[in-house]
Amino acid sequence: MSEPVLTIENLSVDYLVDPVVHAVRDVSLTLRRGEVLGLAGESGCGKSTLAYAIVRLLKPPAMITSGRAVFHARGGGDIDWGDLGPEDLRAARWDKISMVFQGAMNSLNPVISIRDQFEDIFTTHRPAMSRRDRRLRCGDLLESVGVDRGRLTSYPHELSGGMRQRVMIAMAMALEPQIMIMDEPTTALDVVVQREILRELTRLRDEHGFAVVFITHDLPLLLEISDRIAVMRDGAIAELGDAYQLYTQPRHDYTKQLLASFPSLTGDRGSFLRESA
């Protein structure tokens, strides 16, 4: 069992509306170095709120009412994200933990070339890097997600949705973070493109060893790519376990219900599942 890279302790988030929404309730979990942790659960169960809370990207009326998320640096040393000021948080976000959120591909600025948006990450976070190295690195990163480096001069509208999402993943990897949080990163894409991107992601994870928190309501997909899965219900973790075990021997009634709600899961058992060791 590998060491932890992130520990979430008793995290709770409310939306201060009337009546108050308890979106995340007392969530504790450990993310291990290099693992893919899937977060499953039906719409509205609090998956995105938890993800945003981890990186402190929540805006009012959301409020973290208790708990903390502690990042464990590779060389030792813990960083409690709640202790960071706005500047340190901004710096740590791409560097230590990066994010690809739902519809991220639409967050690319349409009037700025891919290269300029990409290089901006390095000019901001790695100011000492030479222009030549920056360019080289942007091209390498793009190729690592299966996009030709010639595309750097393109504008976002000249790329397909799948390509734009790949660009976002490449950007999220730019500073070699130890954690990537992905909230429905491929939902807007067709199934074939989705598969290709996820295959790339798994390969990149194997190569670079970053941990991934992968959020989707698509349980079959999650079973396929995750090492462990946390099932959320009403803001709390109902069950957390090894993906294969959760599929073959779900303990919680809610997990059983969730599994049963996907017809594809009642077919040929294991046909889409990575065989567990």
Ligand X SMILES: Nc1ncnc2c1ncn2[C@@H]1O[C@H](COP(=O)(O)OP(=O)(O)OP(=O)(O)O)[C@@H](O)[C@H]1O
| Per-residue x/- track, 125-154, ligand X (CB under 6 A) | ------------------------------
The DSSP letter of residue 130 is: -
Cα(214)–Cα(272) distance, integer angstroms: 18
Contacts (CB under 6 A) with ligand X, residues 193-252: 217
User: Which token pair is 256?
Assistant: 């059983």
**CA nearest 170: which of 211, 200, 133?**
200
Cα(254)–Cα(257) distance, integer angstroms: 5
Query: How do 97-100 and 236-242 pair as beta strands?
Result: unpaired
Whichever of 22 and 274 has its CB closer to ligand X, that residue is 22
21 binds ligand X (CB under 6 A): yes
| Per-residue x/- track, 56-85, ligand X (CB under 6 A) | -----x------------------------
Q: How far is the CB of 184 from ligand X (least distance, A)?
A: 7
Beta strands, E only, 102-227: 179-183, 211-215
205 in Cβ contact with 179 (< 8 Å): no
Q: How far is the CB of 219 from ligand X (least distance, A)?
A: 12
User: Which token pair is 165?
Assistant: 């999402």
Whichever of 102 and 113 has its CB closer to ligand X, that residue is 102
- From the list 45-53, 126-134, 168-176, 222-230, the region that binds ligand X by CB under 6 A is 45-53
Whichever of 113 and 187 has its CB closer to ligand X, that residue is 187
Residue tagged 């294969």 (tokens): 244
Per CB under 6 A, residues contacting ligand X are: 15, 17, 21, 23, 41, 43-49, 61, 217
